[in-house]
Structure 1
Amino acid sequence: MTVVAGGSGGRVGARRVLVPLLCALTTTVLVAVPASAAPPGPRVDLRVLVVQDGSPEVDAVLEALTEGGVPTDVVDLSDPARRPVDRASLTVPDAVPHARYQGVVLPGDAPVELAPAELTVLHDVEREFRLRQLNATVRATARTGLAEPSPGAGWSGRLDGGVARLTDAARADGFGDMRGDVPVGEDTWVEIGTPLAGYTTLLTGSSPDGTHRGPLLGVLRTGGREELGLSFSYAPGSMPFAALAPGLVEWLTRGVHLGMRRAWFAVHVDDVLLPDARWVAGAHCAYGADCPPTVPPAPTIRMTPADVDAAASWSHDHDFRLDLAFNGAGSRLAAPGGDDPLLAALLARRGAFGWINHTWSHQYLGCVRDHGVVPWRCATVPLLGWTRYVPERVIDDEVARNTAFARDVGLPINPSELVTGEHSGLRGDEEMPEDNPGLAGALDDEGIRSVAADASKEAGQRPIGGARTVPRHPIDLDFDTATFAETVDQYNWSHTSRADGGDGTCEADGGCVPPVPAGDPRAGFLGRIVPMEVTKALGHALANDPRPHYVHQPQLTEDRTLYPVLDQVLGSYRALYTEARPLLVPTMTQSAEVLGRQAAWATAAGSTRAWLQDGIVTVVSGGASDRPVDVPVTVPPALDGAFGEPYGTTRSGWVPVAGEQRIGGVAP
């Protein structure tokens, strides 16, 4: 009997998004594998074969597999030296029948680049081992189980929105955690055919005029084989593919595979307790930050007690935790020698939020800035030309004073988490190609283990001394805007071309957008800016990305511009999925741990072998036996034993593997 044992695991809390599933961090596994005297059955390796032709649809499927940590091998049909698809590449000579792959992804049902003999042997192996095939894009033909559209029957063309609908058959096979309605993105080509014998519809859509409704996704069962085909266009990250991706992976693998997928979404609000500079519409600058002396004064932006009550009520009503990154100096400056009403309000509602040390005064902790030039640059040592850096003792003091402030007033922080002002001290600014040399030592001195970074500059996690970075995605509502009008004006300046009245910086990477109509700032904000930010944030949540998002405290004040964005992110996600796939809100420490495990698995996956045989998953690590590899494993919910945690339509968790580990009771 083989026993798999892991560390302690947690379960989702009563509030379905406030506390994340800790199974993504540690897993308890105590599974006994019963001995059997029966001859061993066929063996199927837990790896997916992806046949690539350069199409965006196959790219999207491959990305979905990779995001979830599912091991893949890729055959590039455009490579003249590619290996042939034959029995030797699909099976292993062994004492029992042995398949190298558990599923196959093709560009279509019969890519012209695959020779007929290759397709024949592929179908033979799929039939022999009950492997499923996913066709990334199909046309309506008898070969795909659909009658071609004709006058009065079926439809093909472009959709610019609309809603598709999952069928009961879909929910019974991989998509059981979805509610049913799936939004269709703009500029989506679809082909709606009429199902023929052997075809089961999984997703239906309608023509723009509503006269024709039929399958956009379905399974053809023929000759002892199963092929799933998508008859709409998509690319990586596009809807509805991103929403369907978890179910597509579970269908392809029958719910048994290496890798695991979660939906993560945390939001940090920086600069709490500080006043922020205000954007001056028309002057294209923030007063107190970068405005010339000729610009009239503009009041700073700081939360009020009413804003605190509104944030706490919103969090409660939406079952979602906001994490407040605070600077204690802001409270001391606002009420020297007296009581700060904002601090009092935050303390009264402290349990409604998470809390993160954002340093005492938000001091820039990279190089010493020379503001005598515009834009600023790093000051240098005279004659020698060496860059001058903020001393390590200053970084220590900024962290320690804010930690002491939290302790003195009673803010419940994790003292090992830190957000520096402007992510300073870390490389990333044009003037700062390297970290402040004193940063690592200061972080170690203060016991920091998770330090925030800007994902738009450095998306990958890396160590700094004993700490690890936690890259954060910016929500593009700037630190100096609190009203719809300010936000629209600042957005138009930063994101449009010179010809459209912007600063033109977007022209360098071709990222310019048309100006947001400024005549009605509220309508422009809600109609243009919010959908763009929702699309980005929701895309991260659907992509198994545990990186937090961040904004600043002005977005909780005055027009409270953050809430329309969050309302749509949460509303869109919860409209897609049931409570079986909750949106998880990780802390900084949890984000760091998940990112670290994901990166380690991406490295170890190539040397880790796993297979399913006689209802048992066997995992063999390629690493040293004294250094376990954390392997993400997903299995059906009917597993005989307490493996992992339920999430979506399956159970999953991290298994520490040193040598060989087995998990029993998996349905063959």
Structure 2
Amino acid sequence: MGRRTRWAAAFVAAGLLACAAPAVGAQAASSAQRIDLKVLVVDDGGPSVAAIVNELDLTGTPYTRVSLSDASRPVINAAFLSGTDSAGRAEARYQAVVLPNNAPFPAGSAEMTALQSYEAQFGVRQVDAYTYAQPAVGLNWAANPGYIGALDGMQGTVTSAGLGGSFRYLKGSVPFEDNDPNVVESYGYLATPLATQAAGASFTPLVTMPIPNGGGAQGVLAGEYDHSGVSELVLTFAYNQYQQQYRLLARGIVDWMTQGIHLGYDRNYFAMHIDDVFLPDDRWSSTAKCTPGDAASACQGTPAASEIRMTPADVTYAQQWEKANNFTFDFLFNGGGSDDATQNGTVDDPLTDSLLQNKSSFRWVDHTYDHPFLGCVQNTTTVPWSCTTDASGATQWVDQQTIEDAIGNNVAWAARHGLSIDSSELVTGEHSGLKTLPQQPVDNPNLAPALAAEGVKWTGSDHSREPDQRAVGGSTLTVPRFPMNVYYNAGKVADEVDEYNWLYTAGAQGGSGICTANPATTTCLPAPLDASTGYSSYVVPLESRIDLGHILGDNPDPHYAHQSNLSEDRILYPVLNSLFATYGQLMASNTPMVNLRESAIGAELQQRSTWQSAVAAGNVTAYRVGSTVTVQAPAGVQVPVTMPTGTVQPGLLGLVSTPAGTAYAGELSGWLTPKLLQSAVTLTLNAAGTPAAAQTTATTTKTATAVAPSTVKPYQPASVARQVPLTPSGVAHLPHSGK
């Protein structure tokens, strides 16, 4: 064996040994504590705990849920919470604890005592998901000064301690929604910290709100109560997973309880797809209450069809808007629209010229050559349309070659005109080919083989019909897209409002009555919107708020509108301007919107699904020992991590170290895989990011005494308990029927 070969063999052997032994910087002594990276959730069935669980689910943070209403639930005792691992180390099985309130067990409960002793021994933090202000959590009673009641429309503020800690991704403002003046949407207990805490205890306000008639005093909405070796995050307001005030704080709640060290990955995503570029879109008729020219519309030829199509001035405006907002539109194009306008190159089309001259300003996605319907063969003589059947009653399907041509001809058009595209991406016209209820309950059986033949890995679907990613055949996955209530058949504000009123008002008010017929889906507007002011005063803020909810909900699914909405009155921009302005007011510069293209969004969804399946199957082991984090997952599964700034992933023998992800929201996060010749993801925290060593013996916790037991119970307003979605008066999107 030559010297080079012997050296390489020794290098490999050392590398394999490094995979099995604690990494550099790990506490190797058997007395060192091991903290498993999993959250314990004690669930009372209320919306506040459900909201925190939702955040854990969204980000991919593992947890164990214990339901207090389950008669067969495990007893929470020392044996349940901790043990000794195979290396002889004391093992904490949970890195954080979520309780529905500060004392969910009966007074003197052995389970509460076990939890407090466990938290003190291992330095594990506790979240009180919703409790009332009381001395037992370091607060005065909510009186003199204090407030108990609705918080709708009030303004919370992150304190300097919060901004310097787990809520560093916010600018400071935490507005509480007031979507319906007739409904109490949130409720809380505002009080000040005790002037004199129990011996050794302290209270640090993290989010506060001015106490009404409190002489300028700030009441606590969220604060850290440290006492006898235990740290509690005290939350004194009711919330659910949909409400903006919770969504703003959700990331920080998880970051606080895990001390910034946890599995999971969280970004604020926003992508804007503009469909039908180069094509015209048919215009809504305010007189006929339908869309003439649209084959699937109820219109039967009257009034005459009218079309909406962008102009070069609209292209220039789109560029300017992108530059001003540091954002890129995804233009979903149909090359056939250009060929029709130029009569296959024999005449000039100013729109085509403008778009091609400025093609580098936008991302381009194949939307098929001429926007055909690629599902069943439509029978448009019925209202609504139906699937054509043969004499035996079998559904007639658009054939595979037609689908391939619709995809491939557009790719070829892009190549001829120098458009840079990713041919693995596709959105079919109307998401056709995929199942469309109620008319077409299954995919066109010719769709999957056509997608495979054309190399399509990602195809857009309608989130209002199919919110989850799914496979189409063996080689393609869907990318669900959020429809916006900015309609494809509207270029002018007047048309948008007219159609909105038609959909969302009862028949007695001149509407279609669709909302009356489908009360489980949507609720009628109390009155039609004003034709001149209704769009700006109602539709724009509502749509902006809905879209912001998606962004704050760690949802990468793109939103979509149409080229018609960038033309004439350019009705999409007011929604986007409102959305971007609100986001800029709320979020710190370290937490920008993440603007991904379709293929990257699809890959993100796929990674999440793979990770969540591995966690659900119990195939992930993750823990921290001192400053070293180790995550073992099945081969090929990428690991989502969120870590303090300065955390690195060491390479073989410590020769190569890389950051543990990329900077976002004041920390590092990313999808990681083991380094060369390593079988686990191993991370090293820096000194600043390593939690202080916990006590090695249990500590009996103490709370403030000499106060009467409270007879007040946290109040849950009905709107929170029912988890009403983020819309005024319950108004929600109707299933999308546009192009």
TM-score of the alignment, normalized to the shorter chain, above 0.5: yes
Moved more, 595-604 or 507-516: 507-516
- 1:140 — aligned with what? 133
Give 1:236's aligned residue: 241
Are 1:381 and 2:428 matched, yes or no? no
Deviation, 1:269, is 0.5
Change (3 A) 1:453 1:37: closer
Of 604, 608, 632, the match for 2:614: 604
Partners of 1:181 and 1:360 lie apart in 2 by 47
Partner of 1:17: none
Whether the 8 Å CA contact 2:462–2:482 is kept in 1: the answer is yes
Measured in 2, the distance between the counterparts of 1:401 and 1:356 equals: 13
Partners of 2:303 and 2:501 in 1: CA distance: 21
What is the CA deviation profile of residues 530-580 of structure 1, one whole-angstrom value per residue up to 9, with x for unaligned ones?
Answer: 122112211111111111111111111111111111112222222222221
CA shift in 2, pair 1:582/1:519, >3 Å: closer
Match of 2:334 in 1: 327
Q: How big is the shift at 1:431?
A: 1.7
Q: Which residues in structure 2 correspond to 1:172-191 (within 5 Å)? A: 172-186=164-178, 187-191=185-189
Separation (CA, whole Å) in 1 of partners of 2:17 and 2:670:
12
Residue 495 of structure 1 deviates from its aligned partner by 2.5
Give yes or no for the alignment of 1:153 onto 2:145. yes
2:353 maps to amino acid:
A
TM-aligned CA deviation for residue 403 of structure 1: 1.0
Write the deviation string for residues 28-66 of structure 1: whole angstroms up to 9, x where unpaired. Answer: xxx963476645511110000111111111111110111
Instruction: Please state how far the C-alpha of 1:585 moved relative to its aligned partner.
Output: 0.5
Partner of 1:206: 210
For 1:279-314, what per-residue CA distance to the aligned partner results, in whole angstroms no more than 9, with x for missing partners? 111421011122544732252111111111111111
Specify the alignment match of 1:88 in structure 2. Answer: 79
Find the residue that maps to 2:338 and give its secondary structure: helix
Instruction: After superposition, give the CA deviation of every residue in 1:240-276 in whole Å (9 maximum; x if it has no partner).
Output: 1101111111101001111111111001010111111
Whole-Å Cα distance in 1 between the matches of residues 107 and 508 of structure 2?
49
After TM superposition, the structure 1 stretch with the greater mean CA deviation from structure 2, 265-274 or 342-351, is 342-351
- Where in structure 1 are there 5+ consecutive unaligned residues? 6-30
Counterpart in the other structure of 1:19? none
What SS class does the counterpart of residue 503 from structure 2 fall into?
A: helix
- Deviation per CA, 1:447-473: give whole Å up to 9, x if none: 111111111111121222312111111
TM-aligned CA distance change 1:444 to 1:112, over 3 Å: same
Q: CA–CA distance in 1 between the matches of 2:107 and 2:83? A: 21
Asked whether the equivalents of residues 25 and 627 of structure 2 are also in contact (C-alpha less than 8 Å), the reply is: no
8 Å CA contact 1:276, 1:301 repeated in 2: yes
Q: Residue 55 of structure 2 corresponds to which residue in structure 1?
A: 64
Alignment-mate amino acid for residue 387 of structure 1:
T
Report how far residue 515 of structure 1 moved.
3.1
* SS of alignment partner, residue 104 of structure 2: coil
Distance 1:471 1:665, change over 3 A: same
Q: 2:556 aligns with which of 546, 555, 569?
A: 546
- Paired with 2:367 and 2:279, the residues of 1 have a C-alpha distance of 11
| 8 Å Cα contact 1:451-1:470 kept in structure 2 | yes
Residue 190 of structure 1 and its aligned partner are, at CA, apart by 2.1
* Per-residue deviation, 1:127: 0.3
Secondary structure at the counterpart of residue 280 of structure 1 = coil
Task: Say whether residues 1:477 and 2:481 are aligned partners.
Answer: no
Give the aligned partner of residue 656 of structure 1. Answer: 673
CA contact (8 A) 1:47 1:71 kept: yes
Give the whole-Å Cα distance in 2 for the aligned partners of 1:552 and 1:275: 10
Is contact 2:191-2:211 (8 Å) kept? Answer: no
Hey, what's the Cα distance between the residues in 1 that align with 2:274 and 2:234?
43
Give CA deviations for 1:421-455 in whole Å, capped at 9, x if unaligned: 00000113312111111111111221111111111
Map 1:567-578 onto structure 2 (within 5 A).
Answer: 567-578=577-588
For 1:373 and 1:617, the matched residues in 2 are separated by 62
The answer to whether the 8 A contact 1:470-1:592 is kept is yes
Match runs of 1:384-395 below 5 Å? 384-395=392-403
Equivalent position of 1:616 in the other structure: 628
Q: Kindly state the Cα deviation for residue 398 of structure 1 after the two structures are TM-superposed.
A: 0.8
Judged with a 3 Å threshold, the aligned counterparts in structure 2 of structure 1 residues 37 and 78 are, in CA distance, closer, same or farther, namely closer
Tell me, yes or no, if the aligned pair for 1:2 and 1:661 is still in contact at 8 Å.
no
The count of aligned residue pairs is 638
Match of 2:322 in 1: 315
User: Which residue does 1:562 correspond to in 2?
Assistant: 572
CA gap of 1:241–1:3, structure 2 versus 1, over 3 A, is farther
Report the counterpart of residue 11 of structure 1 in structure 2: none
Asked if structure 1 preserves the Cα contact closer than 8 Å seen for 2:190 and 2:220, the reply is yes
Q: Which residue is 2:159 aligned to? A: 167
Q: CA deviation at 1:517?
A: 6.0
Measured in 2, the distance between the counterparts of 1:36 and 1:251 equals 24
CA RMSD of aligned residues (A): 2.2
SS in 2 for 1:591: helix
Offset of residue 112 of structure 1: 4.2
Assess if the C-alpha contact under 8 Å between 1:4 and 1:662 holds in 2: no
2:225–2:231 contact (8 Å) kept in structure 1: yes
Contact 2:147-2:212 within 8 A present in 1 as well:
no
Structure 1 CA distance for aligned equivalents of residues 683 and 249 of structure 2: 28
Task: Find the counterpart in structure 2 of residue 265 from structure 1.
Answer: 270
Displacement of 1:420: 0.3
> Which range moved further: 516-525 or 464-473?
516-525
Aligned twin of 2:119: 126
CA distance in 2: counterparts of 1:393 and 1:241, whole angstroms: 50
Cα deviation for residue 115 of structure 1 reads 6.6
Task: Report Cα offsets for 1:328-353 as digits up to 9, x if no partner.
Answer: 11112223121111111111221221
Aligned counterpart for 1:536 among listed residues 546, 562, 581: 546
The 1:397/1:209 distance shift into structure 2, 3 A limit, reads farther
CA change 1:367–1:484 in 2 (3 A) is same
Equivalent residue of 2:673, what SS?
strand
Any idea what SS the aligned residue of 2:89 has?
coil
Contact preservation (8 Å) 1:316, 1:352: no
Q: Select between 190-199 and 390-399 the one with higher mean Cα deviation.
A: 190-199
Partners of 1:367 and 1:174 in 2: CA distance = 52
What aligned pairs does 1:359-508 form with structure 2 within 5 A after superposition? Answer: 359-382=368-391, 384-465=392-473, 466-506=475-515, 507-508=517-518
Look up the SS of the partner of 1:246 in the other structure.
Answer: helix
**Aligned match of 1:25:** none
Which has the higher mean CA deviation after the structures are superposed, 425-434 or 632-641? 632-641
User: How high is the TM-score relative to the length of structure 2?
Assistant: 0.83
Q: Which residue identity does 1:295 align to in structure 2?
A: T
Q: Unpaired runs of 5+ in structure 2?
A: 1-13, 179-184, 649-656, 692-739
From the superposition, tell whether residues 477 and 153 of structure 1 become closer, same or farther in structure 2 (CA, over 3 Å).
Answer: same
- CA offset at residue 476 of structure 1? 1.5
Match of 2:251 among 246, 254, 259: 246
Contact kept in structure 1, 2:145 and 2:214, CA below 8 Å: no
Bigger Rg over Cα: 2
1:76 counterpart = 2:67:
yes
CA distance in 2, matches of 1:597, 1:293: 47
In 1, the alpha carbon distance for the partners of 2:225 and 2:589 equals 30
Match for 2:206: what amino acid? L
Q: Structure 2: how far apart are the matches of 1:38 and 1:471? A: 49
Assess if the C-alpha contact under 8 Å between 1:175 and 1:649 holds in 2: no
What amino acid sits opposite 2:109 in the alignment? Answer: P
Structure-1 residue corresponding to 2:695: none
Identify the residue that residue 108 of structure 1 maps to in structure 2: 101
Q: Aligned partners of 1:328, 1:294: CA distance in 2, in Å?
A: 27
SS at match of 2:602: helix
CA distance in 1, matches of 2:16, 2:233: 36
Aligned-pair identity in percent equals 38
**Which amino acid letter does the alignment assign opposite residue 672 of structure 2?**
V
Relative to structure 1, the CA distance from residue 659 to residue 519 in structure 2 (aligned partners, 3 Å threshold; closer, same or farther) is closer
Aligned to 1:12: none
The residue identity in structure 1 corresponding to 2:46 is S
Range with greater deviation from structure 2 (491-500 or 566-575) = 491-500
